[in-house]
Structure 1
Amino acid sequence: MDDTSKYLIHASISADGVVERSDVVGAVFGQTEGLLGDELDLRDLQQSSKVGRIDVQIDSENGHSFGQMTIASSLDKAETAILAASLETLTRVGPCQAVIEVTNIEDVREAKRRMVVERAKELLAESFDDTVMSSTEILEAVKESVRVEDITEYQGLPAGPRVADSDAIIVVEGRADVLTLLRYGIKNAVAVEGTNVPDAVAGLTQERTVTAFLDGDRGGELILRELSQVGDVDYVAFAPDGRSVEDLDRASVVRALRNKVALSSLPDDGDGDFRAAVAAANGTGAGEAPTDPHTESPTTEASSTPPADGPINGSADAVTDPTAEGGNGGTVAVERPADAVSENPAADGDAADAEVFTESEVDAVTEAVDPADERPSLTDHVQAVIADESGMARLLNDGLDIDDEVAVEKVYDTVEYADPAPAIVVVDGEASQKLVDIAAQRGVGHVVARSAGEYVKKPVSVRVRTADQLLD
């Protein structure tokens, strides 16, 4: 009956004497018999499962009895109401005077509907957001899986796929470091897997141009000391002080490799602090990135000299730091696809300012571009997001670097909860009232959109521009 009931009749019971549950049930059947006719006879309704059992809870105290009665009904509203009203005709329970009063009739289906609505709200909030991926997220996930699958072994040691045939290698501490470099497109790293340098790595360093890229801690220095004794290391780079190579982002990895220092230029007194020496050679404190005094932001210091025949195949960049002038020495090679060159003509147009590299080190660092050298302008961002109809929104900081990029429909929440707040928002859509209000609350100074919205009140602190204004 509980599965098919539509309504629950709730009634209170009060008797001037001590009565029990069986007394109440007997009074209900006895005093309603024949009252409502054959069609609504309570016994017949129970036998046909149209009315459920009579549930009574009753207590006695000081010679009085009181309690609650509940009857489940699958009749329609009118019949249920008639049945409930008939209960109030009872005047005696057993030998005692009694009063029965219907307190309410509960719609069981309404209670179930409320439960369904509340549960649906929870499911809507919890079950969908985490499963939706933007096209950019899907692309990055696929790229990363391919890069991770590229990890191989070199004589039993974790290594990138280019270690065996590259004329320049990067020696790191462990497998996680190799994976991190692979994620950023650097495919010629090999791990020593501890402070005991394997013979395979020691022998490899005799034949290749070697950069040791190690963690910014005491363990990194110990590995470098042993590696310099059993092998032939050309250049040294450290992660920032107290950090591991596996924890670095793309910009930090490229910055560290661009600021490598020739091992031969470091003091060798048997107990030197290599990290401090590398930092001093770059003009910084231990573990810090070089800083431009005009911008107070990390940058790299390198002079470049174009080769007589220009960049190799026009597909890679590199920076040569001349040791004669106290620079870091050697060349860091950076592979870059042809389309990346065409996207920044200002960086590629002047041959006199072009970065150069050597044939022997073109594989040292692949597919990584230093943001300081390839930073796009606001117009470039507008072109990529709006003119190319990307369907995305891009959050930029004061230096026009990308803090985040999301689908247009997520721009409100992303701007509202971004940490830190962006300086500029470029969106392939309308700069609506809601968007500029959120931008004003977060301190965003500029919003660039495909079109401007209709504003009831436009915040004075936010400048709104359209793509046409910037691309004309």
Structure 2
Amino acid sequence: MADGYVEKHDVIGAIFGQTEGLLSSELDLRDLQKSGRIGRIDVELENVNGKSFAKITLPSSLDKVETSILAATLETIDRVGPCLATVKVTYVEDIRVTKRQYITNRARDILRSLMDNMMDTYEITEEIKEQIRTEEIIEYGDEKLPAGPNIDYSDAIIVVEGRADVLNLLRCGIKNVIAVEGTSVPKTIVELSKKKTTTVFTDGDRGGELILKELLQTCDVDCIARAPHGREVEELSKKEIVKCLRSKIPVEQVFHPGSVIKDDILGSIAEESPAEQKHEKSSSHGCVQTEHGESQGVSPNSVADTQDNINHISHIENSVETSCQTGEKKCTPAQDIAVSEPVDRIKTEKTEKNKFDNIKSAVREVMGTSMVKVIINGDEEIKDLKDILNNIKNIDNMDFLVVDGPITQRIVDLLYGKTPLIVGREIKVTKKPVDLRLFSFDEILA
């Protein structure tokens, strides 16, 4: 810092002139610069308001002791040109440390990128296998459905929802897989299910459950597998896929006689929402409860078995009552429970038998009349079908409906939730609700 106006050559002249002779000849700046141990002196000069400020950079290849002595020598300069000046050493930096730090950081980055780009033999093998499996996906049938290459040659097939599911199963080495690709079941899959052992593998969400129920109604399904609750097939690992397929359930455990879907088994595969469970519970009042708590439709073949059970339980009831009255054997609470449970069940079966007799009588009554018989809260009415459908909004609940004509999909859609049972001359329905029972005249009168 100089008190007056100076220039660069004044600063450099002061450095060489005022340090000359202070130290031994070994530390003379001129000799050190000639031998290359001192580099070119750089001066950044700025003149402000009649004063001069210079930043001096002096590169040195001397050792730490000699460099420190040289730095202290520069602070002895007290005049630059004609002006008084002060020199202060701000810092002494070992640039080799900075370079070493840079080298360390840069080498770490280079090594990291090198390791990220390198692949071992196992990864290379797996990548090649995955590419081959992905390339093996084909378009099958008239609908050009995504499928595996072994769909024609395998005796069994796996039906999934979409193309991503097919790709995931191909990565796991499963090649006899085909996708539905939408909500409506393609004709190709319907035909394949009739010829091959069919396993349905759907997502563990509401959409997967709806597709599963539609496949059960339209295809000849043999087994059912579901992804874990809330998961999709396309995101499962190989171990999870194998576990789900090993845990598949035969369709016989999902269906009851009479083609009523067993909701408790479907719930064990993928949990249903509380609203659906409440709806299904409220619509099961027109079904017979078996010993295992399973819901079955009323069929003509079950009437004889029901009557046998009534006679058998009546015999047990009379025997226990006689024993209690004669004092031969004291009745315990356990005996009361053992008798009351089958008695309650038989009372329900008697009610169902009476209901079936009423349906059978209604069929004979409307046959050949082109009319409809409906029972609403115990009141019997014979009307025209159009009147029923036009006033359907005003009807809350019907015990059952007997139609002297075909049952079409439109009738089922309009009456859904209004009645648990519909009987018609013939059934022409493609999508039947789970909690609705449909019977033809031939089935009732058989």
TM-score by length of 1: 0.45
Higher strand proportion: 1
Greater helix share, 1 or 2? 2
